[in-house]
Structure 1
Amino acid sequence: MTGYPDQYLGKYKTILASSPIYIGGLVLLVATATPAAIRAGASMGGLVSSMILIGIGTGGLKACIAPMCGEQNTEKGQHVETLETGETVLVDHDLTTARIFMWYYWAANVGSLSSLLTVEIENHKGFWLAYLVPLLVFLVVLAVFVGFNHKIKKSRPQGSPILDATRALMIGFKEKSFDKAKPSSLRARERLHRYKFAQEERYTDLYVEQVKSGLLACKYFLLFPFYFICWTQIFNNLISQAGSMKLGGTPNDLMQNLETIFMLSFIPILDLMIYPALRKAGISFNPILRIFVGFMCAALGMVYACVLQYFIYHRPENSIPVWIQAPSYVFGALSEIFVIVTGLEVAFLKAPDNLRAFVSSIFWITIALGAAIGIALAPVSQDPYMVWTYAGLAIGAFVAGCVFFVCFRHSISGEVPLTVGLEAAEEPSFNGPGAAGSDPLSGKVA
């Protein structure tokens, strides 16, 4: 489904097409979680079937929603604007896009707090009623989405971008360079006639540069699975760790909500206070640096969990208060903001217009890869090996972050701009929320 939004349907229609599949999975989940279905032995089959439907629906939704949010920012490059206060500012497209993704992710995680409600519902009423909550919420949100469709800026499907990009990649491979694959270079070296696709009108120097840009965007995500292995610990091993601590009446599966609460608090602080302060100080906290810091935060979170697990093993059972675990979630929240939000931002800005949903889906696939690696590590992710498990994850995140920084640090100096388009020659290289001289208001640069 990753190519359909760009190729056939467009992002808006793909969201509409994926929603019934997602709703069908939720309906099946609710129906097979009722007491009658459980007594009839239908719950396991229903759970598996609903997870498949929900997974398919989620794939279509996640690949489209984030890039569609970014596309609502239609202003390109930079332009001067006068505010109502009389202040003159410079509006920057990339800074505005960065802020869009920050608040998109903030809004998405507000929904994560629903688990505070659903856990209590499950404890007192049963699973079926807990599953009914997201179903009803999604139906309401979908109705609002459709109702306001006339205010949503929609991109049209653009033929066969994946096939065309593959052809461009093949030409680049045969010519051993993207620069040599450009039609101007092929024509100068009298090699244009060798490639039928290169002779088509849409095959331009700019198009080849855009395909190169999209490929580089995917390269940024190669090391992300090492981060997501650590990130998924919030939803499994850290819950188990909390269960071995002194709960004081607090359900251990509620602890993961600390990470969401911290993140919902940190995003406004970063966007409204920290990033503007960095800009005024002339400090560039660009995407590469943010992602690197995110990896380091993930590593620190695992180091803290490792040390805490050591004390759990060497203290009387259930003697350490569960709230001592909170710093792991602080590091997790910071890492999520720096890695995931920035990853969405890079996937949008780095990809050519007709491949944004595809590149975004590649980013989300890295989460699945991280989860799969986590499952493979399950035999050692249990007592009495958890100290070594957390230590190994910390080392993995640290090494992956360092490798990422070394491989892509050239982007910091602006040698490889993160935006490629018609206005690329006029735009400065992408520096993100830490760009010097920027104002916190909607990407406005003072």
Structure 2
Amino acid sequence: MEKKIESNAGDAKSIAGREEQWQGLRRVPDKLPKIALLILAVELGERFTYFGLSGPIQNYINNPYDPSSDLPGALGKGQAVATALGNFFKFWAYASTVIGAIVADQYLGKFKAICCACVIYVIGLVILVSTSTPTALLNNAGLGGLIAAMITIGLGTGGIKANVTPMCAEQYQHSHPVLKTLKSGEEVIVDPELTVQRLFMWFYWVVNIGALSPLITVNVEAHHSFWLAAILISAAVFISGRNKYIRVPPVGSAILDACRTTSIAIKENGFNNARPSVLRATGHNDKYPLASQERFTDEYVGDVQRGLKSCKMFLFFPFYFICWNQMWNNLISQAGTMALHGTPNDLLQNLDPIALCFFIPFLDLIVYPLLRKYRIDFDPVTRIFMGFMFASISMAYACVLQHYIYKSPPNSIHVWIQAPSYILVALSEAFVIITGLELAFTQAPKNLRSVISALFWLTIAVAAAICIALGAVSQDPYLVWMYGATLVTLLLASSASAVLAGKRNAPREAGENKNYLGGSYNDCAARNNQLCTGECAGQPAAGAGAPCYTDCTTRNQ
């Protein structure tokens, strides 16, 4: 049985009376909405295709087309060019998330934007397949076709990536904690924050199921050619649920409004001074046309401020993704200089998604519940810092391994000694990427969720651009220095991010977590007072310990 930890205005006293009771209860996530599975299908298909292409792409560009060679290849452009083009593909795919977000939030909405992106994706796949056949390669159509396909597929990827995660999370509509009695008789708090966290964990689990596609495509490339696609089936599954999805309609001026609000905040020396109630009190509201609009409220200004604050952590993510990018280029080339013993040099990258398919359920079902049981607050900042540390250890391992490769006879070190680098990066992803997605959704204004999500993905594009600039040292004999510099940079970024976000690490009681409506469960009285104006004026305010409400109607239910 369930009962909401909220009441009508007349029960404010009884809420306060139960405060001590529910604050000491264990927090648990809610069940995930089933309709979200259809949205995950398109992400599964897109990731299956994307990683199926990304896996072979280093060999495709690096090695020449030689059917008699153990190493598959097509273009023979060398490691530096292969790494640069691979990073360009990542840069464009993740930079184009900004385009996909703008189209969704301002014009089409997320559902239509995803459908259009799938069409663009398929066009890119057709270009790639038609220019990667042996006949096309022998007629020098391979490089031009690859670049055209990269641009087209990247645009489709951006349209999907920017919108799938927020649309998936939007299918969960509960915003207030509820009390629930388990079969054991234990009373627990069903926490929306934990539910959103769980949703993104399993979203990323699905991503990594799709990322296992190189297990197939590596063997396909070694013996046949470079083609594979699963996007059509997943798109059909996604479209089949079109009448069941919860859709947030686009707001034509959403992005412009956010920019104008930020501009007002800069001119007024802070977001608090940019609130319409303050602008009216100071007589500055006539200076800004937006201030007269009904949609420009104190709550909206607070939402924009919170969204921008969440982006501060994203400033350090490019340094992490520089390490993450090594899996798809330099570590593959490193494996090519080791003793393969029949193992394709780009097979080991599959250890990353395989490890994540184990790590994510282990964290969600065992580790995190155990931490909550003992009231250990493993907050987002701590998770991100932990992930940065695991990635740093991975780069340290790769650096030492590269040193011994240089010191040893050619092809003498077994390729599977490289495995810990991939597993450590996988463990870091379980903390960094999942938490980044969570922050991008929970801290974003409702009508800018795709844009904030795109800003998160944009950090991968920035990292890819930096890797392109490092192309000159992404080859022998500089690889030890390259791995070492990456390690030092990430350690510095880890320390800086921990210092910047130090205030977020204050101890919190159970039930006092930040929810995605903003504010904590224990500091909502002022917010509810502010919301209960107009037709709700004179109604008693919720006391300390009450959940946050989105509007007066909900407040007075």
| TM-score, normalising length: structure 1 | 0.90
CA contact (8 A) 2:175 2:516 kept: no
1:93 to 192, 203, 208: 192
1:250 to 343, 358, 373: 343
SS of the aligned residue for 2:501 comes to helix
Gaps of 5+ in 2: 1-98, 525-557
Matched, 1:343 2:442: no
Gaps of 5+ in 1: 430-446
The structural deviation recorded for 1:85 is 6.4
Matched, 1:13 2:149: no
Give deviations 1:376-431, integer Å, cap 9, x for gaps.
1111122222111111110001100110110012122279975453x7464789xx
Per the alignment, residue 4 of structure 1 pairs with 103
Give deviations 1:132-161, integer Å, cap 9, x for gaps.
x32xx2111111111122332221112311
Separation in structure 2 between the aligned mates of residue 165 and residue 54 of structure 1, nearest angstrom:
30
Over 3 Å counting, the alpha-carbon distance change for 1:72 and 1:160 in structure 2 is same
Separation in structure 2 between the aligned mates of residue 158 and residue 87 of structure 1, nearest angstrom:
44
Per the alignment, residue 170 of structure 1 pairs with 263
The structural deviation recorded for 1:339 is 1.0
Alignment of 1:229-244 (within 5 A): 229-244=322-337
CA contact (8 A) 2:390 2:428 kept: yes
CA contact (8 A) 2:356 2:426 kept: yes
2:277 to 172, 175, 184: 184
CA contact (8 A) 1:381 1:389 kept: yes
Per the alignment, residue 122 of structure 1 pairs with 221
CA contact (8 A) 1:6 1:157 kept: yes
Separation in structure 2 between the aligned mates of residue 29 and residue 177 of structure 1, nearest angstrom:
50
SS of the aligned residue for 2:258 comes to helix
Separation in structure 2 between the aligned mates of residue 358 and residue 106 of structure 1, nearest angstrom:
23
Q: Which amino acid aligns with 2:111?
A: Y
Per the alignment, residue 152 of structure 1 pairs with 245
Separation in structure 2 between the aligned mates of residue 384 and residue 125 of structure 1, nearest angstrom:
33
Matched, 1:225 2:318: yes
Alignment of 1:76-115 (within 5 A): 76-83=175-182, 87-115=186-214
Q: Which amino acid aligns with 2:109?
A: G
CA contact (8 A) 1:301 1:328 kept: yes
Per the alignment, residue 388 of structure 2 pairs with 295
Q: Which amino acid aligns with 2:416?
A: W
Separation in structure 2 between the aligned mates of residue 21 and residue 146 of structure 1, nearest angstrom:
16
Radius of gyration: which is bigger? 2
CA contact (8 A) 2:193 2:514 kept: no
Over 3 Å counting, the alpha-carbon distance change for 1:265 and 1:425 in structure 2 is closer
Matched, 1:273 2:366: yes
Separation in structure 1 between the aligned mates of residue 206 and residue 165 of structure 2, nearest angstrom:
12
The structural deviation recorded for 1:315 is 2.1
Question: Cα RMSD between the aligned structures?
Answer: 1.9
Separation in structure 1 between the aligned mates of residue 264 and residue 404 of structure 2, nearest angstrom:
58
SS of the aligned residue for 1:151 comes to coil
1:57 to 145, 153, 156: 156
The structural deviation recorded for 1:38 is 2.7
Separation in structure 2 between the aligned mates of residue 41 and residue 102 of structure 1, nearest angstrom:
43
CA contact (8 A) 1:33 1:43 kept: yes
Separation in structure 2 between the aligned mates of residue 38 and residue 189 of structure 1, nearest angstrom:
69
Q: Which amino acid aligns with 2:133?
A: T
The structural deviation recorded for 1:83 is 4.9
Separation in structure 2 between the aligned mates of residue 248 and residue 425 of structure 1, nearest angstrom:
56
After superposing the two structures, state which structure 1 stretch, 149-158 or 52-61, moved more. Answer: 149-158
CA contact (8 A) 1:182 1:205 kept: yes
2:166 to 61, 64, 67: 67
Q: Which amino acid aligns with 1:247?
A: L
Alignment of 1:423-442 (within 5 A): 424=519, 426=521
The structural deviation recorded for 1:97 is 0.4
Give deviations 1:177-209, integer Å, cap 9, x for gaps.
110111111122222222221122111110110
CA contact (8 A) 1:213 1:420 kept: no
Matched, 1:41 2:134: no
The structural deviation recorded for 1:24 is 0.6
Separation in structure 1 between the aligned mates of residue 185 and residue 234 of structure 2, nearest angstrom:
38
SS of the aligned residue for 2:294 comes to coil
SS of the aligned residue for 1:90 comes to strand
Per the alignment, residue 476 of structure 2 pairs with 383
1:316 to 409, 413, 416: 409
CA contact (8 A) 1:78 1:427 kept: no
Over 3 Å counting, the alpha-carbon distance change for 1:101 and 1:77 in structure 2 is same
CA contact (8 A) 1:21 1:56 kept: yes
CA contact (8 A) 1:350 1:418 kept: no
Separation in structure 2 between the aligned mates of residue 163 and residue 326 of structure 1, nearest angstrom:
47
Alignment of 1:405-416 (within 5 A): 405-413=498-506
The structural deviation recorded for 1:220 is 1.6
Separation in structure 2 between the aligned mates of residue 225 and residue 283 of structure 1, nearest angstrom:
29
| TM-score, normalising length: structure 2 | 0.73
Per the alignment, residue 285 of structure 1 pairs with 378
Per the alignment, residue 210 of structure 1 pairs with 303
CA contact (8 A) 1:77 1:426 kept: no
1:200 to 285, 293, 299: 293
The structural deviation recorded for 1:35 is 2.8
Q: May I ask how many residue pairs the two structures share in their alignment?
A: 422
SS of the aligned residue for 2:295 comes to coil
Give deviations 1:35-59, integer Å, cap 9, x for gaps.
3333443322221111111011111
Per the alignment, residue 441 of structure 1 pairs with none
The structural deviation recorded for 1:87 is 5.0
Give deviations 1:246-292, integer Å, cap 9, x for gaps.
22111111111111111111111111111111111211111111111
The structural deviation recorded for 1:61 is 0.4
CA contact (8 A) 1:210 1:420 kept: no
After superposing the two structures, state which structure 1 stretch, 56-65 or 117-126, moved more. Answer: 117-126
Separation in structure 1 between the aligned mates of residue 325 and residue 262 of structure 2, nearest angstrom:
34
SS of the aligned residue for 2:378 comes to coil
CA contact (8 A) 2:392 2:490 kept: yes
